[in-house]
Homo-oligomer: A and B are copies of this chain.
Amino acid sequence: MDNRGISQAVIRRLPRYYRYLGELLENGVERISSNDLSKRMKVTASQIRQDLNNFGGFGQQGYGYNVKYLYTEIGKILGLEEDHKIIIIGAGNLGQALANYAAFEKRGFILTGIFDVNPRLEGVAIRGVPIRMMDELKSFVQKNDVEIAVLTIPKEKAIEVANMLVENGVRAIWNFAHTDLNLPDNIIVENVHLSESLMQLSYNISRYNEDQRKKGKN
């Protein structure tokens, strides 16, 4: 199994396969063909088979795919079998929303620390994890072998905090701040730019409206 050169397009689709397979599993479905799955997911069967064969031959001719097996294998590929220590920087509503996300633990993301600047939040616990003050962050990261940091802080602070975290051993950043981070190549960054997502929505509305106007004219 050689994972090199797998495009981000494929990787973006993997979690969606995983979700659909999880639902099939819950519904007691034992096997599924790429054709069946393609109809449910509204993608081509070809794409499913191509995507999966990047990682190995998980199916069987004449039978299809065993749901449970494929679910487990994709879970492995996604790294959900290993534990990941994760901390959240910024305990505002968004930070708290993520901290409370229960499926975290199930998937191996171990919430290890929460940090904020607001002294009124000090010691308040979310899912058993107390909120700490930002001045403890550096030594906490050094001592606790933190793998992933979630940044839910304003963009003004995000860049310097990210740099500090990376210097102290954090390997990956889940970035919700409205800025790009420009970290070294060996650091994994996954951006969630909510305002950009909303603008895409807004663009699609505008375009649709325009098309309707044009249709009206013709």
Could you tell me if B78 and A202 are in contact, using CB atoms closer than 8 angstroms?
A: yes
User: Given A94-B93, A192-B192, is A174 in contact with B203 using a C-beta cutoff of 8 Å?
Assistant: no
Task: Give the oligomeric copy count.
Answer: 2
Q: Does A129 contact B (CB under 8 A)?
A: no
Most buried by B among A4, A11, A147, A201: A201
Could you tell me if B203 and A79 are in contact, using CB atoms closer than 8 angstroms?
A: yes
User: Number of A residues contacting the other chain (C-beta, 8 Å)?
Assistant: 57
Q: Does A15 contact B (CB under 8 A)?
A: yes
Closest approach, in angstroms, between the C-beta of A43 and any C-beta of chain B? 11
Q: Does A69 contact B (CB under 8 A)?
A: no
Closest approach, in angstroms, between the C-beta of A165 and any C-beta of chain B? 14
Could you tell me if B192 and A194 are in contact, using CB atoms closer than 8 angstroms?
A: yes
Could you tell me if A200 and B190 are in contact, using CB atoms closer than 8 angstroms?
A: yes
- Complex Cα distance, B116 from A55, in Å, reads 43
Could you tell me if B186 and A198 are in contact, using CB atoms closer than 8 angstroms?
A: no
Q: Does A206 contact B (CB under 8 A)?
A: yes
- Complex Cα distance, B203 from A85, in Å, reads 15
Contacts of A190 in B (CB 8 A): 197-198, 200-201, 204
Question: Which one of B148, B186, B201 contacts A148 once the chains associate, using CB atoms below 8 Å?
Answer: B201
Q: Which residue of B lies closest to A97 (CB)?
A: B93
Contacts of A103 in B (CB 8 A): 195
